[in-house]
Amino acid sequence: MGSLRRVAIIGSSLAGIHAAEALRKAGYDSTITMVGEEQHLPYDRPPLSKQLLSGSWDTPRIQLRPHDVIEGLSLDWRRGQPAIALDPDAREVELQDASIVEYDALLVTTGTKPRSLPVPLGLTGVHTLRTLDDALAIRAALDAMPRVVVVGGGFIGAEVGAEARRRGLGVTMVEALPRPLSRGLGDHMGEICGELHVAHGVDLRCGVTVRGFAGEGRLERVALDDGTVVEADLAVVGVGSEPATKWLETSGLEIDNGVVCDAFCRASAPGVYAAGDVARWHHPMTDELGRVEHWTNAREQAVAAVATLLADHDHPGARMLTAYAPVPYVWSDQYGSRIQVAGWTGGSDEVSVHRDAELGTTVALYRFGDRLGGVAGINATRRLLPLRRMVADRAGWDEALAAAAV
């Protein structure tokens, strides 16, 4: 491939900033254009539903890097400027202000957007949570002591519900599946997490969906499809997210629930790479395309994509390439409990749950065939560490059961 003088990174958040740092660390000293639709400097998202929402941290604490470190990266910043189109043949990205960014290599790190409900969300008091501005708005709304409905019992909904209960607010959680968190943890662990919410006073409604939000100008009621109506002043909708690829629709790039990439984070057009929540890449461990919406992955995949980008352009800072094959990892904090998941859980053949009432820990093992495919834990950080390694090593099921029993 040709020379490397202009790298463009679209999406100036976690994966974006890690990619820029990886480029500079490898000795790449030419142009990095960093395009971000948000006005804010890069900030961290996990605290948005935890410390920032509770008010124990404020905005400066969640900045990913101090100003001087960002300045040291010598970026050509385009802040508050969404990319609106890509022409991979001309190697050009068009921004909303009609300016054009030319590149030799392009890294797409545009993350995800909250998924919508099939009902209008337009009323004041109905929120989604993805950005700092979303979190500040929800925090301000919580300060007014509202009656809260959380729509969706995934990680974000569960964390918002837990924070609202910590404030002593009435919380109804509406989950379409029979149990909260079961998409990420499976039914058995989802049941245990549901019990945690109920024990903390959440009115948990499972197997129902929202028919509509109603009120005079602002939210007053949430109608559910079982015919019940919940009085509410604040609704937070956390029903999953979708890859932010709308701007790539006319590019000809292969898009299928994310930017489709090979095992080295290369997208379908020469010189284009993707990393983080938006990337759906060929994972060598599963031999399938997969997308991971976790913090650890965004950091690690950005570095992996930069390694490929440098190698493809024969850059002197390039290193030997290996396929990107991480064991996915995510954590969530609810009511002072830490939930952690490593590896794969969905579609497992068996789940084995080990609860230690004395220590207050729970560990779940997920079997795929005769191997350990994933692990999850509640307040079990230390017990999980060796089990995470066993997932990476594709340990046998019996060996994993023996390790979990220790």
Closest contact distance (angstroms) between CB of 78 and ligand FAD is: 8
Which of 21, 37, 104, 300: binder of ligand FAD (CB under 6 A)?
37
Task: Decide whether 163 or 277 has the Cβ nearer to ligand FAD.
Answer: 277
Packing angle of the helix pair 397-405, 381-392 (nearest 10 deg): 170
Contacts of 401 (CB under 8 A, 6+ apart): 352, 365
Q: How far is the CB of 348 from ligand FAD (least distance, A)?
A: 20
CA–CA distance, 327 with 372 (Å, rounded to integer): 12
For the stretch 365-403, what's the b/e string if a residue is b when 16 or more beta carbons lie within 10 angstroms of its beta carbon? bbbbeebbbbbbbbbbeebbeebbebbeeebebeebeeb
Position 34 contacts ligand FAD (CB under 6 A): no
Question: 48, 70, 306, 378: which one contacts ligand FAD (CB under 6 A)?
Answer: 48
> Minimal CA–CA distance to 296: which of 335, 265, 340, 253?
340
- When the beta carbons of 36 and 377 are compared against ligand FAD, the nearer one is 36
* Gap between the Cα atoms of 376 and 344, Å rounded: 9
**Can residue 32 be called a binding residue for ligand FAD (CB under 6 A)?**
no
**By the rule CB under 6 A, 35 interacts with ligand FAD:** yes
CA separation, residue 222 to residues 94, 232, 291 (Å) = 41, 7, 32
H or E, element range at 348: none
309 near ligand FAD (CB under 6 A): no
For ligand FAD, the closer of residues 26 and 156 by Cβ is 156
Per-residue contact track with ligand FAD, 205 to 244, x per CB under 6 A? ---------------------------------------x
Q: Which of 129, 149, 151, 387 binds ligand FAD (CB under 6 A)?
A: 129
- Among positions 82, 180, 194, 374, the unique one binding ligand FAD when judged by CB under 6 A: 82
Query: Given the complex with ligand FAD, which of 244 and 267 has the nearer CB atom?
Result: 244
Chosen residue from 14, 235, 365, 390 binding ligand FAD by CB under 6 A: 14
| Min dist. Cβ of residue 406 to ligand FAD (A) | 27
Taking a C-beta distance cutoff of 8 angstroms, is the pair 251, 86 a contact? yes
Are the C-beta atoms of residues 333 and 308 closer than 8 Å to each other? no
Residues 255-294 binding ligand FAD (CB under 6 A) are 276-277, 293-294
- Among 13-21, 280-288, 363-371, 382-390, the segment contacting ligand FAD (CB under 6 A): 13-21
Residues 377, 364: Cα–Cα separation, whole Å? 6
Which amino acid is residue 94, in one-letter code? E
**Distance (Å, whole) CA 219 – CA 356:** 43
193 counts as binding ligand FAD under rule CB under 6 A: no
Q: Which of residues 133-172 bind ligand FAD (CB under 6 A)?
A: 156
> How many CA atoms are closer than 13 Å to the CA of 362, on its beta-carbon side?
19
- Taking CB under 6 A as the binding criterion, the range among 163-171, 192-200, 325-333, 361-369 that sits at the site for ligand FAD is 325-333
Pick between residue 62 and residue 403 the one whose CB is nearest to ligand FAD: 62
Sheet arrangement for strand 92-95 = 83-87, 92-95, 100-102
The reply to whether 247 sits near ligand FAD by the rule CB under 6 A is: yes
Q: Are 257 and 243 in contact (CB under 8 A)?
A: yes
* Structural contact between residues 274 and 259, judged by C-beta atoms closer than 8 angstroms: yes
- Given the rule CB under 6 A, which of 140-148, 224-232, 330-338, 354-362 is the region that contacts ligand FAD? 330-338
Interface residues toward ligand FAD, by CB under 6 A:
10-16, 35-38, 45-46, 48-49, 82-83, 109-112, 129-130, 156, 244, 247, 276-277, 293-296, 298, 330-332
